[in-house]
């Protein structure tokens, strides 16, 4: 079988496993939510509502049905692409997700780009003199950013740049004195498309602090990964062979060592993207960024079963897609990979 | 070799300068990009004169009065809609969309409310009795708090173009107070016709001084309503923003990003800091009526607190003044009653003051202090910082004053989990808070003491059981029912007597009062509150110096 066919088969098998993984995750989250203590009716009505009002609302929301029936309805809905409605205000879950997911993706992509540029630059800067001052500083940077508690770091950044210096907004996604752009929900894109400079600069102003904080905190991962892999690559036989052929050191580093060192970094990027989609919670909370992780946290606190289920399923689906794409890219780029 | 800029550890090969220049280029480009972004970020949008930015913490899911009752949403709705009646800051009942108090039938089972004429909804349609009937029937059908109305009102109808008729299930003295609830603000039947039986979360069409022109859960825009029947707003509009983080809110006011900050859920340290800044003249602080009570619920049908002497001993042993100072620096004044002091029927000294000698005597009578120490588990809601501080402080205070008699075993639990277990008798003692849906004494006593089915002093079913105390006493339920229909001094006397009876048994121990606060930038006038504890947006304005 040719490598191309093998690759296609590999990709197909990974994609076919996706729905099974999603079903498992959906089932798990459905069961865990029901097993967890707390009742959505308490969150909706408070503890003082009379039993009759509680029972009526329970019936209205379908929470009085047997668990198996609720599970069946949930799965049937999923198959139809219907994630249900939020218990809190009956808004379709898909609508809530379509409003908060772009916010998370916009933040995540900007942070990831910054992390990659910063991390790779710092990681690369130390290779000239391993164990030299620059390399040591890079290593300290990598460990430091990795070890910093995100919540604390975000608060310090917020206090310094927003409160003390007043350069940037404290939180939120958009200036409250303007109306946000309409369209895809990606404000950068929407404001650019509309050609509205005020909206665009407002979006950027609000994006700078959360994206920078998240980007810097993540850049240590890229820094460490590139440094270790580049160092290993520079000691390998093919680099030795390149040097002995009389190639310039620039060419050796940029054409031979760096591409190989970047392959594991690609895998790390995939994992980071996956974790960013739902995992930037502390940054979202600190900067009042109305993203999906923040929404999920609130939905859990309110025991809003359909919303929690919907968000988890959608985020899981994205994670599955991203990891499949990254796996395929790595397989495509690295001929050493066997399937 | 002078030209060698790099040296590899494995071998000292000559390396041209090219990688370094590449590196410089690679580093320079992002830096230039980052600098451009910072410059871009420095372009602050121009803020319109006389429009104000108000910030609060709670996210607003819905602006439908039938769907929501969060503090943030109620604050917003109070600017967008008018109730039939309102409570003034000094507790007086004032007609708003009604023009006079309700007229009652001889049997007090029918009430007629005369309505204001010439009032328009934001969509231009006319406010009349039919619109009010539509609103109340919609609320009864789909309102989350419909039981508040449905428990007291059997039916509504328009008895005239501008007269509303309410059929009551039983005589109900606090009807005007009930009709102050902002959830009952009239809605335009034209705008809500398609949403008669489902929520309209993102639009609001009422009669208030502002129109809602933009809504999402983090940002709302209010524009003055040109055809408003009452006094025009003193500002040219309000932008409301909801930030999730207390530090962000605090920072936003300090940096001038927002003009007014509402205290809802702001952490104690930050409230204190703002209070001090206001005292120093750097901010303006407004304080609303204290309508939220913090109280301890004691499990009264299980040992050890089944013994009323022990409950009473804990009531005597609670040093409220110390706790108020340590937890809130005095911002939460101590409370010795269940009804807030601004509401008729309050009895400020119903519960005993801190009396260590009396507390020790009661512990002794119950068989403790003589080498035997009472252990009381106290649960606090772990997601509420002031609850944790209270638990830690009270534990230390009891250890200091009654270390040989009693010890608290404190543990935290997330609030939603705790609420679920409250009615199962899971907590020997737990700190909770309560604010009535409308300002009337019954709204504080019935939710804590109501009992539909009892066995002696033990409540088997009803509000007392759901609240986690399970305490009642013969005749209490009848007295509570009676107070709903009594009026004037007779009612006040009954309410006070009821509180004194409850204090004797101490199934609850009032701890503190919480008053809403709002802070404004120094170029604004001090924020004013209405009698329901909400900032009056239409009175917010900048100082105009001659």
Chain-chain contact of A288 with B22 (C-beta, under 8 angstroms): no
Instruction: Name residues of chain B where pLDDT drops below 70.
Output: 1-48, 545-546
Predicted local distance difference test score (pLDDT) of residue B23: 53
Task: Measure the CA–CA gap between B460 and B465, rounded to whole angstroms.
Answer: 6
Chain-chain contact of B151 with A50 (C-beta, under 8 angstroms): yes
Q: Does A201 touch chain B (CB under 8 A)?
A: yes
Task: Measure the CA–CA gap between A261 and A233, rounded to whole angstroms.
Answer: 6
Chain-chain contact of A47 with B61 (C-beta, under 8 angstroms): no
Q: Is the pLDDT of residue A129 over 80?
A: no
Task: Measure the CA–CA gap between B452 and A173, rounded to whole angstroms.
Answer: 50
Predicted local distance difference test score (pLDDT) of residue B420: 80
Q: Is the pLDDT of residue A297 over 80?
A: yes
Please state the rounded mean pLDDT for residues A56-84: 89
Q: At what angle do helices A150-157 and A197-234 cross, to 10 degrees?
A: 130
Backbone angles phi, psi at B306, to 5 degrees: -65, -25
Q: Does A42 touch chain B (CB under 8 A)?
A: yes
* Residue of chain A whose Cα is closest to the Cα of B42: A167
Chain-chain contact of B416 with A53 (C-beta, under 8 angstroms): no
Cβ atoms of B41 and B171 within 8 Å: the answer is: no
ipTM score assigned to the predicted complex: 0.81
Task: Measure the CA–CA gap between B429 and B403, rounded to whole angstroms.
Answer: 18
Closest-CA distance, A80 to chain B, in angstroms, reads 23
Task: Measure the CA–CA gap between B4 and B14, rounded to whole angstroms.
Answer: 6
Q: Which residues contact A189 (CB under 8 A, 6 or more apart)?
A: A183
CA-based nearest residue to A310, from A84, A101, A22: A84
Closest-CA distance, A43 to chain B, in angstroms, reads 7
Query: Measured at the alpha carbon of residue B114, what is the angle toward residues B109 and B118, in degrees to the nearest 5?
Result: 155
Which residues of chain A neighbour B45 with C-beta distances below 8 Å?
Answer: 175, 177-178, 198, 201-202
Cβ atoms of A111 and A280 within 8 Å: the answer is: yes
Task: Measure the CA–CA gap between B69 and B148, rounded to whole angstroms.
Answer: 12
Task: Measure the CA–CA gap between A91 and A97, rounded to whole angstroms.
Answer: 10
- Among the ranges given (A118-132, A302-316, B236-250, B323-337), the one the predictor scored with the smallest mean pLDDT: A118-132
Cβ atoms of B448 and B435 within 8 Å: the answer is: no
Cβ atoms of A203 and A174 within 8 Å: the answer is: yes
Which residues of chain A neighbour B248 with C-beta distances below 8 Å?
Answer: 158, 170-171, 286-288
Please name every residue paired with B53 in a beta bridge, in sequence order, or none if there are none: B239
Q: What is the DSSP letter of B193?
A: G
The token duo for B315 is 């009531």
A–B CB contacts, 8 A cutoff, strictly below: 199
* Residue of chain B whose Cα is closest to the Cα of A156: B247
When scoring A171, A219, A296 by the number of chain B Cβ atoms within 10 A, the one with the most, hence best to mutate, is: A171
Closest-CA distance, B11 to chain A, in angstroms, reads 10
Task: Measure the CA–CA gap between A306 and B442, rounded to whole angstroms.
Answer: 36
Please name every residue paired with A206 in a beta bridge, in sequence order, or none if there are none: none
Q: How many helices (H) and strands (E) are present in chain A, helices listed first?
A: 15, 0
Chain-chain contact of A128 with B19 (C-beta, under 8 angstroms): yes
Cβ atoms of B168 and B111 within 8 Å: the answer is: yes
Q: What is the DSSP letter of B98?
A: B
CA-based nearest residue to B147, from B421, B445, B446: B446
Closest-CA distance, A124 to chain B, in angstroms, reads 8
Chain-chain contact of A49 with B147 (C-beta, under 8 angstroms): yes
* Residue of chain A whose Cα is closest to the Cα of B238: A177
Which residues of chain B neighbour A248 with C-beta distances below 8 Å?
Answer: 16, 18
Closest-CA distance, A69 to chain B, in angstroms, reads 23
Q: Does A172 touch chain B (CB under 8 A)?
A: yes
When scoring A119, A215, A288 by the number of chain B Cβ atoms within 10 A, the one with the most, hence best to mutate, is: A288
Alpha helices in B287-328 (DSSP H): 308-317, 320-328
Task: Measure the CA–CA gap between A60 and B199, rounded to whole angstroms.
Answer: 14
The token duo for A312 is 């988890």
Element (H, E) at B32: helix B18-41
Pairing of strands B508-514, B292-298: antiparallel
Q: Which residues contact B200 (CB under 8 A, 6 or more apart)?
A: B64, B191, B192
Which residues of chain B neighbour A48 with C-beta distances below 8 Å?
Answer: 434, 447, 463, 466-467
Q: Does A128 touch chain B (CB under 8 A)?
A: yes
* Residue of chain A whose Cα is closest to the Cα of B437: A48
Predicted local distance difference test score (pLDDT) of residue B59: 84
Chain-chain contact of B47 with A43 (C-beta, under 8 angstroms): no
3-state secondary structure of A261: helix
Which residues of chain B neighbour A125 with C-beta distances below 8 Å?
Answer: 23, 27
Which among A46, A177, A288 is the nearest to B248, CB-wise?
A288
Closest-CA distance, B22 to chain A, in angstroms, reads 9
Q: How many residues does chain B have?
A: 546
Higher pLDDT: B167 or A11? It is B167
Task: Measure the CA–CA gap between A260 and A266, rounded to whole angstroms.
Answer: 10
Task: Measure the CA–CA gap between A168 and A188, rounded to whole angstroms.
Answer: 17
Chain-chain contact of A288 with B41 (C-beta, under 8 angstroms): no
Rounded mean pLDDT of chain B? Answer: 89
Please name every residue paired with B219 in a beta bridge, in sequence order, or none if there are none: B241
pTM for this structure? 0.84
Query: Measured at the alpha carbon of residue B343, what is the angle toward residues B339 and B346, in degrees to the nearest 5?
Result: 45
Higher pLDDT: B145 or A129? It is B145
Predicted local distance difference test score (pLDDT) of residue B184: 95
Which among A86, A179, A198 is the nearest to B214, CB-wise?
A179
- CB atoms under 10 Å from CB of A282, counted, come to 21
Task: Measure the CA–CA gap between B517 and B533, rounded to whole angstroms.
Answer: 9
Closest-CA distance, A107 to chain B, in angstroms, reads 15
Q: What is the DSSP letter of A162?
A: I
The token duo for B439 is 């300002």
For residue A248, what are the CA distances in angstroms to A226, A237, B14, B199? 21, 16, 9, 70
Predicted local distance difference test score (pLDDT) of residue B6: 40
DSSP states along A165-205: S--S-SS-SS-TTSPPPPSSS-HHHHHHHHT-HHHHHHHHH
Cβ atoms of B160 and B129 within 8 Å: the answer is: yes
- B341 φψ region: left (φ > 0), alpha (ψ -120 to 50), beta (else): alpha
Task: Measure the CA–CA gap between A145 and A223, rounded to whole angstroms.
Answer: 10
Residue for token pair 């999906």: A292
* Residue of chain B whose Cα is closest to the Cα of A47: B419
Predicted local distance difference test score (pLDDT) of residue B4: 41
């Amino acid at each position: 079988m040719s490598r191309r066919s093998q690759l296609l088969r590999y990709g197909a098998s990974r994609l076919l496993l996706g729905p099974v993984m999603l079903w498992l995750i959906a089932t798990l989250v459905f069961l865990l939510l029901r097993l967890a203590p707390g009742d959505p009716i308490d969150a909706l009505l408070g503890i003082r509502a009379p039993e009759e009002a509680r029972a009526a609302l329970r019936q209205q929301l379908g929470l009085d049905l047997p668990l198996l029936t609720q599970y069946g309805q949930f799965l049937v809905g999923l198959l139809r692409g219907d994630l249900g409605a939020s218990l809190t205000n009956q808004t379709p879950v898909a609508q809530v997700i379509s409003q908060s997911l772009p916010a998370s993706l916009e933040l995540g992509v900007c942070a990831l780009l910054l992390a990659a540029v910063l991390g790779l630059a710092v990681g690369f800067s130390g290779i000239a003199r391993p164990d030299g001052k620059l390399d040591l500083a890079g290593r300290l940077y990598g460990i430091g950013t990795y070890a910093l508690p995100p919540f604390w770091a975000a608060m310090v950044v917020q206090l310094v740049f927003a409160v003390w210096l007043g350069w940037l907004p404290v939180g939120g996604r958009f200036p409250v004195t303007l109306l946000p752009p309409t369209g895809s929900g990606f404000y950068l894109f929407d404001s650019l498309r509309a050609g509205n400079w005020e909206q665009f600069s407002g979006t950027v102003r609000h994006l700078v602090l959360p994206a920078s904080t998240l980007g810097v905190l993540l850049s240590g991962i890229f820094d460490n990964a590139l440094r270790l892999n580049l160092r290993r690559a520079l000691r390998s036989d093919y680099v030795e062979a390149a040097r002995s052929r009389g190639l310039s050191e620039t060419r050796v580093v940029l054409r031979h060592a760096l591409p190989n060192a970047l392959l594991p970094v690609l895998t790390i990027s995939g994992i980071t993207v996956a974790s960013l989609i739902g995992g930037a919670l502390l940054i979202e909370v600190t900067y009042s960024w109305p993203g999906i992780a923040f929404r999920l946290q609130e939905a859990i606190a309110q025991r809003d079963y359909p919303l929690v289920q919907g968000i988890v399923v959608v985020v899981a689906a994205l994670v599955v897609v991203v990891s499949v794409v990254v796996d395929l890219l790595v397989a495509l780029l690295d001929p050493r990979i066997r399937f | 070799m002078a030209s060698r800029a790099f040296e590899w550890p494995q071998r000292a090969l000559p390396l041209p300068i090219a990688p370094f220049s590449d590196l410089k280029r690679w580093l320079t480009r992002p830096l230039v990009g980052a600098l451009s972004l910072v410059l871009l970020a420095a372009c602050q949008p121009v803020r319109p004169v006389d429009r104000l930015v108000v910030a609060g913490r709670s996210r607003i899911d819905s602006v439908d009065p039938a769907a929501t009752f969060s503090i943030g949403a109620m604050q917003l709705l109070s600017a967008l809609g008018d109730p039939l009646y309102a409570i003034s800051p000094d507790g007086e009942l004032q007609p708003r969309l009604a023009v006079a108090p309700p007229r009652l039938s001889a049997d007090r089972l029918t009430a007629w409310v005369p309505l204001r004429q010439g009032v328009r909804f934001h969509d231009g349609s006319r406010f009349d009795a039919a619109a009010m009937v539509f609103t109340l029937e919609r609320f009864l059908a789909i309102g989350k708090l419909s039981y508040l109305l449905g428990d007291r009102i059997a039916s509504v109808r328009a008895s005239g173009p501008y007269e509303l008729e309410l059929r009551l299930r039983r005589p109900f003295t606090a009807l005007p107070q009930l009709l102050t609830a902002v959830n009952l603000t009239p809605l335009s039947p034209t705008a809500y016709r398609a949403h008669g039986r489902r929520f309209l979360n993102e639009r609001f069409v009422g009669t208030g001084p502002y129109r809602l022109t933009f809504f999402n859960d983090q940002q709302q825009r209010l524009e003055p309503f040109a055809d408003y029947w009452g006094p025009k707003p003193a500002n040219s509009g309000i932008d409301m923003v909801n930030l999730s983080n207390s530090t962000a809110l605090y920072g936003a006011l300090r940096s001038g990003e927002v003009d007014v900050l509402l205290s809802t859920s702001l952490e104690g340290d930050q409230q204190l800091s703002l209070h001090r800044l206001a005292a120093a003249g750097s901010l303006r602080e407004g304080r609303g009526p204290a309508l939220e009570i913090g109280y301890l619920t004691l499990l009264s049908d299980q040992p050890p607190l089944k013994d009323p002497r022990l409950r009473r001993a804990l009531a005597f042993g609670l040093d409220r003044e110390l706790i108020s100072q340590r937890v809130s620096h005095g911002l939460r004044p101590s409370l010795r009653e269940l009804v807030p002091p601004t509401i008729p029927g309050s009895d400020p000294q119903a519960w005993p003051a801190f009396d260590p000698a009396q507390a020790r005597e009661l512990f002794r009578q119950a068989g403790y202090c003589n080498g035997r120490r009472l252990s009381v588990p106290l649960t606090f809601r772990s997601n509420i910082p002031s609850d944790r501080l209270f638990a830690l402080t009270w534990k230390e205070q009891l250890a200091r004053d009654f270390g040989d008699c009693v010890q608290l075993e404190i543990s935290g639990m997330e609030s939603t989990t705790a609420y679920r277990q409250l009615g199962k008798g899971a907590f020997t003692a737990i700190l909770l808070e309560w604010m009535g849906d409308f300002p009337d004494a019954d709204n504080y006593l019935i939710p804590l003491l109501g009992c539909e089915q009892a066995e002696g002093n033990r409540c088997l079913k009803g509000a007392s059981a759901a609240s986690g105390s399970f305490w009642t006493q013969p005749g209490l339920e009848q007295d509570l029912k009676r107070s709903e229909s009594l009026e004037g001094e007779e009612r006040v006397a009954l309410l006070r007597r009821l509180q004194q009876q409850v204090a004797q048994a101490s199934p609850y121990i009032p701890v503190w009062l919480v008053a809403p606060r709002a802070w404004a930038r120094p170029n604004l006038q001090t924020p004013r509150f209405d009698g329901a504890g909400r900032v009056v947006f239409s009175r917010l304005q900048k100082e105009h110096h001659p």
